[in-house]
């Protein structure tokens, strides 16, 4: 069976990150998506076009997406024939995230509506058009999904990711010492093992690092990260 693995990076990432997953899917073709969309409505045009262009020759498609790349994927690819999705630190409640950013910048809805766009001190530009679109276009996602979440994620709380996982029937795995950006040796080894477990591979790496525990949604402790954790971007 011919299988295609599509990797979609997060903000500031690159399609070359997809090369990391080639060793985990040795019998599949792995390609990274060099997208240019900056909004969900742009993604709804660009993402399906990319999928249609590349998926024709394959019997199944696996989607791996990171952060806002996962959010854009859920906005744009929900109707595509994807056999399985694996989301790493996905943005699952963009409306809440924007509201949090507005609070961090001490900006109210009326001010944002009046000014249209407002740059912030933490590198993000708030947009009334973007915020309005998000509120009026909630995510609808029914593709079998596994989610990897870092317990120290500063953009999405454990409560938010847990509720979303329950809503769409996704399997949630939590790395307690993980961050929004999985990048350390320990975090990447955990990520690789999560991928291998998700696809049922027998090639799982030996994982024994003090202070880290591998947990899925069946025994995860639900709670909300502190305001200080959530504020960093």
Distance, in Å, from the CA atom of 13 to the CA atom of 34, rounded to the nearest integer, reads 9
pLDDT band for position 215 (50/70/90)?
very low
In our burial notation (b when 16+ CB lie closer than 10 A, e otherwise), range 19-49 reads ebbeebbeebebbbbebebeebeebbeebee
Mean pLDDT of all residues in 19-26: 96
Domain identity same for 193 and 123: no
Regarding whether 219 and 107 lie in a shared domain, the answer is: no
Q: Are residues 163 and 134 in the same domain?
A: no
DSSP single-letter state for residue 156: S
Same domain, 11 and 86: yes
Residues in CB range of 130: below 8 A, 6 or more apart: 39, 98
The whole-number pLDDT of residue 200 equals 83
Rounded Cα distance between 1 and 197, Å, is 20
Q: Which domain holds residue 111?
A: 94-138
pLDDT tens profile 134-174: 999 999 999 999 999 999 999 999 999 999 999 999 999 99
Shared domain for 76 and 122, answered yes or no, is: no
Final residue before a domain boundary, out of 138, 170, 200: 138
- Which is more confident, 89 or 207? 89
**Same domain flag for 25 and 124:** no
Q: What is the pLDDT of residue 227?
A: 31
User: What is the maximum alpha-carbon separation in the chain?
Assistant: 56
| Same domain? 82 vs 159 | yes
Judge if 72 and 147 occupy the same domain: yes
Distance of CA 232 to the CA centre of its chain: 17
Same-domain status, 7 and 113:
no
The predicted pLDDT at position 205 comes to 58
Could you tell me the CATH number of the domain that includes residue 48? Answer: 3.40.50.1820
pLDDT tens-digit readout, 98-129: 999 999 999 999 999 999 999 999 999 999 99
Average pLDDT, the chain: 89
Work out the pLDDT band at 220, boundaries 50, 70, 90: very low
- pLDDT-based confidence at 47, cuts 50/70/90? very high
Asked whether residue 216 carries a pLDDT value surpassing 50, the answer given is no
Tally of domains within the chain: 2
147 and 167 share one domain: yes
Asked if 182 and 75 sit in the same domain, the reply is yes
Looking at the fold, whether 122 and 166 belong to one and the same domain comes out as no
> 225: pLDDT confidence band, cut at 50, 70 and 90?
very low
Measured CA to CA, the distance from residue 193 to residue 88 in angstroms comes to 13
pLDDT top residue among 133 and 209: 133
**For residue 214, pLDDT beyond 60:** no
């Amino acid at each position: 069976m011919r299988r295609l693995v599509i990797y979609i990076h997060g903000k500031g990432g690159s399609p070359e990150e997809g090369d990391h997953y080639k060793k985990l899917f040795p019998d599949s073709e792995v390609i990274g998506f060099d997208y240019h969309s900056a909004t969900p409505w742009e993604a709804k045009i660009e993402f399906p076009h990319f999928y249609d262009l590349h998926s024709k020759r394959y019997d199944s498609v696996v989607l791996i997406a990171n952060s806002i790349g996962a959010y854009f994927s859920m906005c744009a690819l929900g109707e595509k024939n994807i056999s399985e999705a694996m989301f790493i630190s996905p943005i699952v409640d963009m409306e809440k995230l924007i509201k949090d950013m507005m609070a961090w910048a001490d900006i109210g809805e009326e001010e944002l509506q009046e000014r249209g766009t407002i740059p912030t001190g933490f590198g993000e530009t708030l947009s009334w058009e973007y915020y309005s679109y998000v509120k009026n276009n909630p995510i609808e996602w029914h593709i079998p999904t596994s989610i990897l979440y870092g317990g120290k994620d500063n953009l999405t709380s454990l409560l938010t990711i847990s509720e979303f996982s329950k809503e769409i029937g996704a399997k949630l795995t939590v790395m307690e010492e993980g961050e929004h950006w999985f990048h350390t040796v320990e975090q990447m080894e955990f990520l690789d093992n999560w991928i291998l477990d998700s696809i049922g591979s027998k090639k799982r790496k030996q994982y024994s690092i003090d202070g880290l525990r591998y947990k899925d949604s069946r025994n995860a402790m639900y709670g909300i990260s502190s305001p200080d954790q959530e504020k960093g971007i």
